[in-house]
Amino acid sequence: MDSTIALSYPWWYIGLCLLLGAVYAFALYFKDTTFKDAGRFVQNAIKWLSLVRFLAVSFLAFLLLMPLLKNRVTEVENPIIIYAQDNSESMRSALNGDTTTFQNTTQNIIKKLEEKYAVHSYQFADNFKDELNYTYNEKTTNIEKALGELYDRYTNQNVGAVILSTDGIYNEGGNPVYSNRKLNVPVYSIAVGDTTPKRDIKIERIYHNKIAYLRDKFTVRVDVYATNCEGEGTNLKAIKINKNGDENRVALEKVIVKTGDFTKTYEFELEANTPGINKYSIQLDKIKGEETWRNNIQNIYVEVLDSRQKILLLADAPHPDLSTLKTIIETNENYETKTGFIRTFKDDISLYDLVILHGLPSKANPSEKALKTIKEKSIPVLYIVSQQTDIERFNKAQSLLLVRGSKNQMNDAKAEAVDNFTLFTIEPGILENLSNLPPVNTPFGEYAIGENTVTLLRQKIGSVNTNYPLLILEQSNVVKSAAFAGEGIWRWRMYDYQGDNQLETIEELFGKTIQYLSVKSDKRKFRTNSSKNLYYENERITFDAELYNDSYQLVNDSDVSLSIFDEAGKEFPFIFNKTANAYKLDAGIFPVGVYTFKSKTTYAGNSYDAEGEFNVIPRELEALNTTANHQLLYTLAERTGGQVFYQNDLEALTDSLLNQQNIKPVMFSNFKNRAFINLKWLFFMLLGFLAFEWFIRKYNGGY
């Protein structure tokens, strides 16, 4: 340990401290006549007492310079070995159920490594956890996520190696070999399970619509895969399972396995004839000698809706914005879109749930009949203002936005998000990306917004942030409307696509806007909804609740209770947590089954209740593939400089890591500063000197 002294003032200030001590000692002992007639012993002692006083005063003055004692401290950090255990269901099969022996073996390895290294243990599968419980009950495996989590935690730390204990099977996330987040340390794998292909026929994957519409037909595509089953035949069936448990076979296909490594796709065309969530079981009959039957069955769930919402894109003339909006709308299967032009459009507008008017009303087409129908039938409307829009007629047709002094001149304006928008939520990253989009063409002039309107986007003209609205919505519980004061949305789509090869920004923005406008008004003062109708068995069940007063303002003064009932009628009671002005509840994880829920509250002397239903479905990803993937582990080892060891040769893994010359402790130095005034021994030393001097002076009559 090296020590140095650092001052907050120039070093020559020490001379002033010494001068102060000398002047003080001289004045006290050589100018004072107290000891003039004292004996020889006292006269000799004065020299030493003056020296003590000189040193004490000088040192006290030195402490006023705030000196620091800088100590150079060298520390040694042992290398870290990370042990990550796969805790998925497939590991139990890979270990043939003998999990206790494997657990004891790996624990012994960790203990031996801890004699030389710092061993940090984790488990992964669905999630990454700071524990080891060896339960092997998690429903999915994401190795890429686990390695990414290690990267986030241990970048720039002295990590010697990662031990990955797994069968190499992953069914979520990407291939860990190609992950961008790498620790750049060797990965040593404990390879568990058997890589020998077994006699097995299975449903590899199923493609189907999650939403269908009543009386429509939808296609289910099934990929069948078989190994070592050449010449065998079986049946592929689609069975509809009703809510009362009754089963009805709705499709059948013969499967003949022609090769040892067999893959074929089969298609069923099913009819959506029951509203609500429909459950179908896709099954392969078992083949003699098959290793497992769990991967012969998969259940799918299709939500059948009574009807789509119809959206009309009505324009003054063809425009690239129309195709952009149509593409965005049709990403949601709940919507059915039609594009029309005002000159030739003859449909009944009252049949539509939402009308988007692009460039209307215009000077060439006042659109009086269409606007009258929209108003009389209380149809939600979104106005897109373009160069064709007649601003004077536009101002008269709606109360959202007033534009004065336009004279058909246009500005180039970029979009800036408003911070306090509350009608619906948009991801923060989406809002940040809006400012990067190219400008749109907006009418030149002064803008004013209506009383019940809320601004989502403002215009930024050049480098000036204005208060001019770009996208505004009417806050209403009756008929909703909105206005986008510009054209050129197609430029946003092109830019968004070129930027990251996806359309998330404008899909989120206009998708949420259209959803807000098209949702039919709900006059209920109390509402409770689960976040979705279908949950996997490892997902948490969440609810939102809203309570409105007579003015339809959100309040949360009252407590809200909720009860969940399983198929046997067992009740699970909960109380909602209050948020800023609503309610939230995380009910946790529930077993597979169909559940109903009822919520209730009391407000202003009135009782309110709401009810609904949700389904928890199994997640069978771990059963689909039971053949260990050790090639993945060898590739990881090759790319990182590690090795692969099998579960019956783990002593070699321990010896290899303990004898590694590249895994070394790291020595690093740093400085620790400590103020002199905080050193207790200095205080007691000064106190002792001054006390000794005081006693001698007192004894000889000096005080």
Do residues 27 and 156 both lie within one domain? no
Do residues 342 and 451 both lie within one domain? yes
Q: Do the domain assignments include residue 625? A: no
Do residues 477 and 565 both lie within one domain? no
* pLDDT over 60 (residue 39): no
The last residue of a domain, from among 463, 498, 518: 518
Which of 57-66, 114-123, 414-423 is predicted least confidently?
Answer: 57-66
Better-predicted residue by pLDDT, 96 or 166: 166
CATH of the domain at 448: 3.40.50.880
Could you tell me if 161 and 187 are in contact, meaning their C-beta atoms sit under 8 angstroms apart?
yes
Of 332, 280, 269, residue with least CA distance to 305: 332
- Give the integer Cα–Cα distance in Å for 642 and 84: 15
Count of structural domains within the chain: 5
Instruction: List, in sequence order, the alpha helices (H) in 64-142.
Output: 89-94, 99-114
**Could you tell me the pLDDT band of residue 590, with boundaries at 50, 70 and 90?**
very high
Do residues 613 and 646 both lie within one domain? no
* pLDDT over 80 (residue 222): yes
Mean predicted confidence (pLDDT) in 188-202: 89
**Could you tell me the pLDDT band of residue 691, with boundaries at 50, 70 and 90?**
confident
Of 541, 530, 545, residue with least CA distance to 579: 545
User: For the residues of 654-683, what is the DSSP string, one character each?
Assistant: HHHHHT-SS---EEEEEEEEEEGGG-HHHH
In terms of average pLDDT, the best of 331-340, 452-461, 510-519, 622-631 is 452-461
The last residue of a domain, from among 305, 329, 356: 305
Of 493, 482, 485, 490, residue with least CA distance to 467: 485
Q: Do the domain assignments include residue 376? A: yes
Q: Do the domain assignments include residue 665? A: no
Do residues 369 and 512 both lie within one domain? yes
Which of 59-73, 383-397, 470-484 is predicted least confidently?
Answer: 59-73
Q: Do the domain assignments include residue 384? A: yes
Do residues 319 and 235 both lie within one domain? no
Overall pTM > 0.85:
no
Do residues 140 and 221 both lie within one domain? no
CATH of the domain at 109: 3.40.50.410
Q: Do the domain assignments include residue 667? A: no
Q: pLDDT for 522-563, tens place per residue? A: 668 899 988 788 888 888 999 999 998 887 788 998 999 999
The last residue of a domain, from among 305, 325, 343: 305
Of 667, 662, 669, 643, residue with least CA distance to 654: 643
Mean predicted confidence (pLDDT) in 253-276: 90
Mean predicted confidence (pLDDT) in 86-99: 87
**Could you tell me the pLDDT band of residue 34, with boundaries at 50, 70 and 90?**
low
Terminal Cα distance for the chain, rounded:
45
Which of 149-153, 411-415, 435-439, 663-667 is predicted least confidently?
Answer: 663-667
What percent of the chain has a predicted confidence (pLDDT) above 90?
45
CATH of the domain at 227: 2.60.40.10
Q: Do the domain assignments include residue 397? A: yes
Do residues 91 and 35 both lie within one domain? no
Q: Do the domain assignments include residue 666? A: no
Which residues fall within 8 angstroms of residue 518, CB to CB, at 6 or more apart? 309, 311, 335, 353, 354, 380
Q: pLDDT for 289-312, tens place per residue? A: 887 787 898 888 888 877 778 999
> H/E element holding 166?
strand 159-166
CA distances from 223 to 226, 262, 268 (A): 10, 10, 12
Q: What is the pLDDT of residue 643?
A: 94
Bond prior to 361 in cis (omega within 30° of 0): yes
Mean predicted confidence (pLDDT) in 100-112: 92
Q: pLDDT for 501-521, tens place per residue? A: 445 788 888 988 998 888 776
- Residue 561: give the domain boundaries: 526-617
Better-predicted residue by pLDDT, 309 or 565: 565
Mean predicted confidence (pLDDT) in 441-452: 91
The values of phi and psi at residue 645, to 5°, are -125, 145
Handedness of CA 691, 697, 699, 703 (dihedral sign): negative
Do residues 429 and 494 both lie within one domain? yes
Q: What is the pLDDT of residue 501?
A: 42
Q: What is the pLDDT of residue 33?
A: 60
Q: What is the pLDDT of residue 572?
A: 96
Do residues 116 and 192 both lie within one domain? yes
Q: What is the pLDDT of residue 255?
A: 93
Handedness of CA 453, 459, 465, 467 (dihedral sign): negative
Mean predicted confidence (pLDDT) in 574-597: 92
Do residues 250 and 287 both lie within one domain? yes
Of 210, 203, 189, residue with least CA distance to 237: 203
* pLDDT over 60 (residue 141): yes
> H/E element holding 392?
helix 391-397
- Give the integer Cα–Cα distance in Å for 672 and 200: 66
Average pLDDT, the chain: 86
- Give the integer Cα–Cα distance in Å for 236 and 280: 13
Do residues 377 and 479 both lie within one domain? yes
Q: Do the domain assignments include residue 663? A: no
Per DSSP, 648 falls in state T
